[in-house]
Structure 1
């Protein structure tokens, strides 16, 4: 009997991957999101921007001061690379 791979979903409010504990979206989550949103790159960008805003709000809620450029890079910075590989 085979087991299904566990999805790489965010664990809030820390925004770490529930599966691998890397900062979400981890690389496997990125690959899954590209597949899930295939052909809908603008919807993916909106989803990730909303997730980034939630992560920033959660960080402030925890009393942290998030590094905003790092958050942008983490959530949205990889999108241009994902689009480039599918052209």
Structure 2
């Protein structure tokens, strides 16, 4: 198992390496490579992280929480199985 260099900086949920919203592009690619044999597990793991991020982000800014579509896209959409309408998620 490789070490993921692009880790989240909590509670802001920005990448420690590139300061992009986490999971950033390099983190997504590394997670997909690392868990290519069990994408269902990866999606469950990401859903848990999405829940933690929502809790942290709402605690930091309760008056302007992340939009549901935005947080779903950030944590889960890119890891969803490709469909005819959305063949690429990264």
Bin of the TM-score, shorter chain as denominator length? 0.7 to 0.9
**Correspondence 1:71 to 2:62:** no
TM-score normalised by the chain length of structure 2: 0.79
Q: Equivalent residue for 2:43? A: 45
Question: 1:66 offset after TM fit, Å?
Answer: 1.7
Question: 1:63 offset after TM fit, Å?
Answer: 2.7
How many pairs does the alignment contain?
A: 80
Question: 1:48 offset after TM fit, Å?
Answer: 0.5
Match of 2:30 among 23, 29, 32: 32
SS of residue matched to 1:78: helix
Equivalent pair of 2:43/2:80 in contact (CA under 8 Å): no
58-67 vs 24-33, which moves further: 58-67
SS of residue matched to 1:23: coil
Equivalent pair of 2:35/2:42 in contact (CA under 8 Å): yes
Question: 1:33 offset after TM fit, Å?
Answer: 0.2
Give the alignment's Cα RMSD to 1 decimal. Answer: 2.1
Q: Equivalent residue for 1:12? A: 10
Which of the two has greater helix per residue?
1
